[in-house]
Amino acid sequence: GGAGDAAEGARRTGFVRVRGAREHNLKNVDVDIPRDVLVVFTGVSGSGKSSLAFGTLYAEAQRRYLESVAPYARRLFNQMGVPQVDSIDGLPPAVALQQQRGSSTTRSSVGSVTTLSNLLRMLYSRAGDYPPGQPIIYAEAFSPHTPEGACPGCHGLGQVYEVTEQSMVPDPSLTIRERAVAAWPTAWGGQNQRDILVTLGHDVDRPWRELPQELRDWILFTDEQPVVPVYPGLTPEETRRAVKRGDEPNYMGTFSSARRHTLHTFANTQSASMKKRALSFMLSTPCPVCGGKRLRRESLSVTFAGMDIADLSRLPLARLASLILPYAGGSGPDAADDAHPEKAIVRQRIASDAADRLNVLLDMGLGYLSLERSTPSLSPGELQRLRLATQVHSNLFGVVYVLDEPSAGLHPADTEALLRALDGLKAAGNSLFVVEHDLDVIRQADWIVDVGPAAGEQGGEVLYSGPPDGLREIEISQTRRHLFGAEAVIPRTPREPAGWLQMEGVTRNNLRNLDVRFPLGVLTTVSGVSGSGKSSLVSQALVELAAEHLGHAPVIEETDEADPDAVIAVGGRIAAGMEGISRLVRVDQKPIGRTPRSNLATYTGLFDHVRRIFAATPAAKKRRYDAGRFSFNVAKGRCETCEGEGFVMVELLFLPSVYAPCPTCHGARYNAATLEIEYRGQNIAQVLGMTVDAAYEFFADEPQVRRSLHVLREVGLGYLRLGQPATELSGGEAQRIKLATELQRAQRGHALYILDEPTTGLHPADVEKLVVQLDELVSAGNTVIVVEHDMRVVAASDWVIDIGPGAGEDGGRVVAEGPPAEVARSAESRTAPYLARVLE
């Protein structure tokens, strides 16, 4: 048949042939993409690169794979939709290494992701040094996650948690009614416990510290759970009488001591914030049995190179590699172990396997990580490279690896290592499809697929597909201008700082007692190789200390799991410079919302104005529709079938549930009566369907709406639809929406803006727009500090602080500081040569 011939043809010619791709904004795209080489997908943000590489090619490969899998197993996959495409021929199986949006949820570590921990456990079990007379133990006994290995004192956690009167009752001058027992639940749950104590005849209106110790201990620590009648709303005196009379209570309440409640919540809750709250009433101390090493004594008694496995897992990978390398070569201090020749062989085999794996990780610039480092604490770029390094060792071939901006978070010096790893995968006989903005990576491509010409509806076409050089001829391509144009930036005169923010004694991760100053009223870039300490300094220490100064609640990162390791106090203080700062604004890449109920229009506040405009139309006034009527989150105006979601979930037997457009409103989200109201011939659902650009024309007479739309266009988001759900936005888009929301506030000056790698996901053309926006913030009297690798941003800033010189233990110092031209001349800075290149 025809399809079979086409498939055979594609296989022979070595091309993946895509016909009629229409996913998201793709305009019925036909394109042939070669296999077994490095293909880079380029184009401005929102042009459709990911829709082609991930949404079409990877999704189709996954769909085919899943067809061969038993239905119940399909549920285990985070399945993507069936792509909108006519046909794809010649597509090999695909592995996606996508950057995670939001934090990773699994409680894994560098050692488990890379499988190096397994290897070390084997090494200790089979070739470790045992104390005389101790029998050999199995590899599992070296894992804190198994019953054989876990320390009995802490169940493998390394920490023991306890609650004390002080930790649960922080302010003993309060009464129970005033919530002295802070560890009890807030809201109803806490009132319930109070009412139970009233029934039991205890005084809830005396300051905690005046209650008898015996009673306090009982309330906090008892395991008893008396069930008593509860009379909410009655005074203690009235309750006493009601109990005496045997009045019918509202309900029977069960008492739970504060300790019981706290420990139970910590162990059982599914909610990250509840867990975090419980943790805040607990004190943790290193386990006295294992000293925090999480393993049984017998397991810790086995050593390799003189160290137990816990100590070895804490070493930076670079040190671990240099320690293991001699054994891999068959030498090593105790290599001539004549008594156990078989042990020596096993040791050499495992050590050389581990050394190979470690080398790939070092090559990837990850030598500063340790095996025990938890993956939720890694940046998305670090995690992606970790998984990439693991793949290099998987010995797969004939596979397409689909990658999403692997250079994110990488200093130009690190990017070179990344390219070597990609080469390794290619040499092993694999195809690489990479979505990337970094010019250094694009230059290494064997083949470029350039998507554009612009974003959203103005994009979605393949402008060019071929070897890089041919892109020179494609005048409509934005990539062409940056790839072949002059890279040097226009020299500018740095602005003068208005003052200095001085930090002293900063200690955190690899920063040790660091003194550092940030200029005020200018644009500062903090640069350095990845792992040098930029985020520790800026996104962690500076953010927390500045927030503390301003009296905000300390900013707690939202992780899906309460990670006890993440609760580290930061050492250091801000010695001067905060007088001139009234507000701290952190513009990060976290999603603007986790449900389709929040979107661009709701997040920016733009939708409030739009709803008021609709409520002010004569037709709405006549029907007495207020602004709330035009919210899809409010019952009166929304479609009742889908409760304003626009789609309904369809449960399928044995398959993941799918979302289908709502049969009543067909995705409009509103009920028919609401949709009858029109403003300039368009109803509210049609307005939500407009792009920012279209809405800008449409609301020509509404200055407030226009202002918001104007800034959104300025940050390059004119292509987004107003109602685009938060869940469909990339991290970079979310970050620019936050930036635009800040910009439209037009607050004059005195704010401190902190951005961590704002160019992630941005095409060079979009980077230029971003720099203009940051400049405007500075012109309005604000201070802007960015952590950034893009040398054009570094060159365009007024001041540069270069952290390093290396990563981890080799970093954490200020290597160079000053205006860009000055830092570019530093002999010690690893940023200098790359910066000099764009400045010349």
How far apart CA 684 and CA 689 sit, in angstroms, is 9
* Residues found in the chain: 840
CB 113 within 8 A of CB 375: yes
Stretch of 116-124, 228-236, 263-271, 286-294 contacting Zn ion, by CB under 5 A: 286-294
Residue type, 586: R
**Shortest CB 549 distance to ligand ADP, Å:** 21
Q: Which is nearer to ligand ADP, 369 or 791 (CB)?
A: 369
Helix spans in 485-539 (H) = 534-535
Place of tokens 């955190």: 508
User: Nearer to ligand ADP by C-beta: 337 or 557?
Assistant: 557
Nearer to ligand ADP, 265 or 602 (CB): 602
Binding mask 604-643 for Zn ion (x = CB under 5 A): -----------------------------------x-xx-
Distance from C-alpha of 663 to C-alpha of 821, rounded to nearest angstrom? 62
740 binds, among Zn ion, ligand ADP, none (CB under 5 to 8 A by kind): none
CB atoms within 10 A of CB 139: 18
Of 360, 421, 459, nearest to 50 (Cα)?
A: 459
Tell me which of ligand ADP, Zn ion, none is bound by residue 671, counting a contact when its beta carbon lies within the kind-specific cut-off of 5 to 8 angstroms: none
**Minimal distance, residue 810 CB to ligand ADP, in Å:** 9
Cα–Cα distances (Å) from 360 to 317, 357, 365, 385, 432, in that order, read: 11, 5, 9, 10, 18
Q: Which does 324 bind (CB under 5 to 8 A by kind): ligand ADP, Zn ion, none?
A: none
Q: Could you tell me which stretch among 22-30, 89-97, 143-151, 543-551 binds Zn ion (CB under 5 A)?
A: 143-151
Q: Measured from the CB atom, is 163 or 662 closer to Zn ion?
A: 662
Which partner from the list Zn ion, ligand ADP, none does 720 bind, CB cut-off 5 to 8 Å by kind?
Answer: ligand ADP
Tell me the C-alpha distance between 376 and 561, whole Å: 9
310 binds Zn ion, rule: CB under 5 A: no
Please report whether residue 722 would count as binding Zn ion according to CB under 5 A. Answer: no
**Of 247, 231, 176, residue with least CA distance to 205:** 176
CA distance 236 to 424: 76
| Contact partner, 510, from Zn ion, ligand ADP, none, Cβ < 5-8 Å per class | ligand ADP
555-590 CB burial, b ≥16 within 10 A, e <16: eeeebebbbeeeeeebbbebeebbeebebbbbbbbb
532 binding partner (options Zn ion, ligand ADP, none; Cβ < 5 to 8 Å by kind) = ligand ADP
Report in angstroms how near the CB of residue 476 gets to ligand ADP at its nearest: 16
Q: Which is nearer to ligand ADP, 429 or 554 (CB)?
A: 554
664 binds, among ligand ADP, Zn ion, none (CB under 5 to 8 A by kind): Zn ion
CA distance 679 to 834: 54
DSSP string covering 801-837: EEEESSSGGG--EEEEEESHHHHTT-SS-SSHHHHHH
**Residue selected from 153, 232, 236, 781 as contacting Zn ion according to rule CB under 5 A:** 153
Say which entry of ligand ADP, Zn ion, none residue 536 contacts (CB below 5 to 8 A, set by partner kind): ligand ADP
User: What, of ligand ADP, Zn ion, none, does residue 368 touch, CB below 5 to 8 Å by kind?
Assistant: ligand ADP
- Residue numbers at the binding site for ligand ADP (CB under 6 A): 24-25, 43, 45-51, 368-369, 373, 377, 435, 455-456, 509-510, 528, 530-536, 719-720, 728, 730, 807-808
Q: How far is the CB of 632 from Zn ion (least distance, A)?
A: 9
Radius of gyration of the chain (CA): 30
Q: Which does 154 bind (CB under 5 to 8 A by kind): Zn ion, ligand ADP, none?
A: Zn ion
786-825 footprint of Zn ion as x/- string (CB under 5 A): ----------------------------------------
| Of the candidate residues 151, 355, 584, 692, the single one contacting Zn ion (CB under 5 A) | 151
Mark out the alpha helices in 179-329 (DSSP H runs). Answer: 187-199, 213-221, 236-245, 258-268, 272-279, 297-300, 309-314, 317-328
Give the C-alpha separation, 631 to 471, whole Å: 47
Stretch that binds Zn ion, among 144-152, 377-385, 419-427, 468-476 (CB under 5 A): 144-152
DSSP state of 717: -
Minimum CB separation of residue 21 from ligand ADP in Å reads 11
For residue 371, which of 189, 588, 108 has the smallest C-alpha distance?
108
> What are the tokens at 697?
């024309």
* Nearest-approach distance from CB 96 to ligand ADP, in angstroms: 14
Q: Residue 641: name its binding partner from Zn ion, ligand ADP, none (Cβ under 5 to 8 Å by kind).
A: Zn ion
Cα separation, 449 vs 463, whole angstroms: 8
State the number of CA atoms in the 13 A half-sphere of 343 facing the CB: 16
CB of 630 to Zn ion, least distance (A): 15
Closer residue to ligand ADP in complex, CB, 208/696:
696
Q: How far apart are CA 93 and CA 439, in angstroms?
A: 28
Encode 561-605 in three state secondary structure. Answer: CCCHHHCCCCEEEEEECHHHCCEEEEECCCCCCCCCCCEHHHHHC
620 vs 665, beta carbon nearer Zn ion: 665
Q: Which does 533 bind (CB under 5 to 8 A by kind): ligand ADP, Zn ion, none?
A: ligand ADP
Binding flag, residue 154, Zn ion (CB under 5 A)? yes
| Eight-state DSSP code of residue 542 | I
Residue 444 vs residues 425, 439, 499: alpha-carbon distances, Å: 14, 9, 43
**Cβ 28 to ligand ADP shortest distance, Å:** 15
Q: Residue 822: name the closest of 787, 797, 804 by CA.
A: 797
Report the C-alpha gap between 166 and 298 in whole angstroms: 36
Among 290, 383, 592, 740, binds Zn ion (CB under 5 A): 290
**Rounded distance, CA 579 to CA 629, Å?**
45
Q: Which is nearer to Zn ion, 151 or 541 (CB)?
A: 151
Query: Would you state the structure tokens that stand for residue 118, as one six-digit string?
Result: 């397994």
Shortest distance in whole angstroms from residue 3 CB to ligand ADP: 27
CB of 581 to ligand ADP, least distance (A): 23
Q: Which of residues 512 and 707 has its CB atom nearest to ligand ADP in the complex?
A: 512
Nearer to Zn ion (CB atom), residue 261 or residue 629: 629
In 757-804, the DSSP E strands lie at 783-787, 799-804
665 binds, among ligand ADP, Zn ion, none (CB under 5 to 8 A by kind): Zn ion
Pick from ligand ADP, Zn ion, none: which does 528 bind, CB < 5 to 8 A by kind? ligand ADP
CB of 760 to ligand ADP, least distance (A): 11
The least distance separating ligand ADP from the CB of residue 635, rounded to whole angstroms, comes to: 27
Site map 652..671 versus Zn ion, x via CB under 5 A: ----------x-xx------
3-state secondary structure of 441: helix
Kindly list the strands in the beta sheet with 571-576, ordered across the sheet, starting from the edge strand earlier in the chain.
511-520, 499-508, 571-576
Closer to ligand ADP by Cβ: residue 51 or 478: 51
**CB closer to ligand ADP out of 185 and 531:** 531
Whole-number minimum distance, CB 702 to ligand ADP, in Å? 24
Q: Which is nearer to Zn ion, 87 or 664 (CB)?
A: 664
Residues in contact with Zn ion by the rule CB under 5 A: 151, 153-154, 287, 289-290, 639, 641-642, 662, 664-665
